[in-house]
């Protein structure tokens, strides 16, 4: 098995910095990434408005 560290903050920060997206879609029955995405956006301070984070499934 190959393991590698996930650099989630770096990925989200790059997306925000490049203005590649301002809408994030989480497809999961347990929305766990939405909070992390919001935190990343707050830390980058690159974007004036908050991104739209959509949750598709919820129990």
pLDDT in tens, 26-48: 998 888 899 999 898 888 875 56
What is the domain partition of the chain in residue ranges? 8-55
Three-point CA angle 58, 48, 53, nearest 5°: 10
Tell me, what's the pLDDT at 2?
82
Tell me, what's the pLDDT at 10?
94
List b or e across 12-38, with b for residues whose CB sees 16 or more CB atoms inside 10 angstroms: bbebbeeeeeeebebeeeebebeeebe
How much is the pTM? 0.73
């Amino acid at each position: 098995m190959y393991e590698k560290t996930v650099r989630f903050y770096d990925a989200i920060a790059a997306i925000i910095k490049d203005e590649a997206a301002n809408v994030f879609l989480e497809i999961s029955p347990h929305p766990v990434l939405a909070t992390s995405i919001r935190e990343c956006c707050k830390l980058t301070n690159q974007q004036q408005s908050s991104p739209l984070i959509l949750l598709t499934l919820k129990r």
